[in-house]
Amino acid sequence: MTAAILGTMIVLLLLGFPMMVPLIVASVVGFVAIFGGIGHLETLVQQVIAGIQPASLIAVPMFIFAAEIMTRGQSAGRLIDVVMAFLGHIKGGLAISTAGACTMFGAVSGSTQATVVAVGGPMRPRLLKAGYSDRFTLALIINASDIAFLIPPSIGMIIYGVVSGTSIAELFLAGIGPGLLILVMFSIYSYIYAVRHNVPTEPRMPWPDRLRAVRRAIWPMGFPALIIGGIYGGIFSPTEAAAACVLYAIVLEMVVFRQVSPRQLFATAKSTGLITAVVFILVGAGAAFSYVISFAQIPQEILAGIGIDGMGPYGVLFTISIAFFIGCMFVDPIVVILVLVPIFAPVVQATGLDPVLVGTIITLQVAIGSATPPFGCDIFTAIAVFRRPYWEVIRGTPPFVVMLLSVSVLLIFFPQIALFLRDLSIDG
């Protein structure tokens, strides 16, 4: 049965079908094999519907909608300006500002692909003009966008939280430490690159201009305060924080900045609806697939085959990291989370690992895989946005991937990097 289900998925993927089709067809094949027919196929339909019922999933389209509104308006540009005002004059400052802008935009969007578009669009020409190679520039933008998948509100963490039943609020806190650590590593590498290649620095911005940039960015910087402060101040749930973000974005861009018209808002809502439909179909199909493989005890077969049952916590975490990293090099991150989390759930529970730590490591691996050849989704986003060939986009990625993987190793051996803020909030 395992061979039939996995074989069906692989064949359909090789034939070029979108991922939702292999998930659904493989679920039907497994269901028929288990029950000997399609007489109770409505049970599978019920699993699809149950998969998209959790209220926490409402946060996904709302955060996407808020990010789309900000990208069309001035918020993204103002966040970039305030980072540039304070970092642009140091060696490698423009590259460091790019990584910093990705972090700040990630704190309001939660999407790596939205960050590639919003930050990469205005920053790439400036980096090239300053003397950075396109190879370095593209790799920096693609990989710095990974920080958006860790800094709350992370769409990947929302999906993981729904699938695994882990607290999304705790996952959001756990992503901050690794996200900032990645920012520090990328900043150091950018400084070394600028020194080695003698990249000139930007003029130091006078303090009046810096203060002006801060004043212009005060409203956009309200997004992280709204999300983090609202959730951990007990005002909002993560879902309610997402709704508040949408309202804040609409008021900010339509009333305060007056950059988004009602017609543009409608177009943004339509675009968000299309993205949400794809995400929810994947989530529903993934829920049905998880039901089938759990009923058939396929996770137990796979885990027994790789000998993970006899491993200690470190072995389990390394195995999970490798599986998710490789999976996201080929398949959409959401699909990888939906398929692999239920497979590893029994051994995570049996080993007694903290599900928040596991979720943070999985989210990081998913983010790394999204920017890693051959089929990382952020690579193809960059190809579409910057209109550069595939090989040119991926040439500069290896140093960044090494840094990201080193953060993964640090998380495994020093989990407090992720859990410090979570534990502090619980103790407080």
Q: What pLDDT is stored for residue 96 in this prediction?
A: 92
Q: What pLDDT is stored for residue 137 in this prediction?
A: 93
What distance in Å separates the CA atoms of residue 51 and residue 16, rounded to the nearest whole number? Answer: 25
Do residues 142 and 116 lie in contact, with contact meaning Cβ atoms separated by under 8 Å?
Answer: yes
List, for the chain, all residue ranges whose pLDDT scores fall below the cut of 70. 1, 37-40, 299-300, 302-307, 309, 375, 427-428
Nearby residues of 254 by Cβ (< 8 Å), 6 or more positions away: 260, 261, 262, 265
Q: What pLDDT is stored for residue 63 in this prediction?
A: 85
173 Ramachandran zone, left/alpha/beta (phi>0; psi -120 to 50): alpha
What distance in Å separates the CA atoms of residue 343 and residue 321, rounded to the nearest whole number? Answer: 13
What distance in Å separates the CA atoms of residue 195 and residue 200, rounded to the nearest whole number? Answer: 9
CA-based end-to-end distance of the chain: 50
What distance in Å separates the CA atoms of residue 257 and residue 79, rounded to the nearest whole number? Answer: 14
| CA-to-CA dists, residue 331 to 137, 146, 271, 336, angstroms | 25, 16, 22, 7
Q: What pLDDT is stored for residue 331 in this prediction?
A: 73
Q: What pLDDT is stored for residue 307 in this prediction?
A: 67
Q: Record the tokens describing residue 113, joined without a space.
A: 């692909």
Q: What pLDDT is stored for residue 288 in this prediction?
A: 84
Q: Record the tokens describing residue 20, joined without a space.
A: 């939702």
Q: What pLDDT is stored for residue 34 in this prediction?
A: 76
Among residues 330, 338, 293, 334, the alpha carbon closest in space to that of 29 is found at 293
Q: Considering just the CA atoms, what is the radius of gyration of the chain in Å?
A: 22
Q: What pLDDT is stored for residue 357 in this prediction?
A: 95
Q: What pLDDT is stored for residue 404 in this prediction?
A: 93
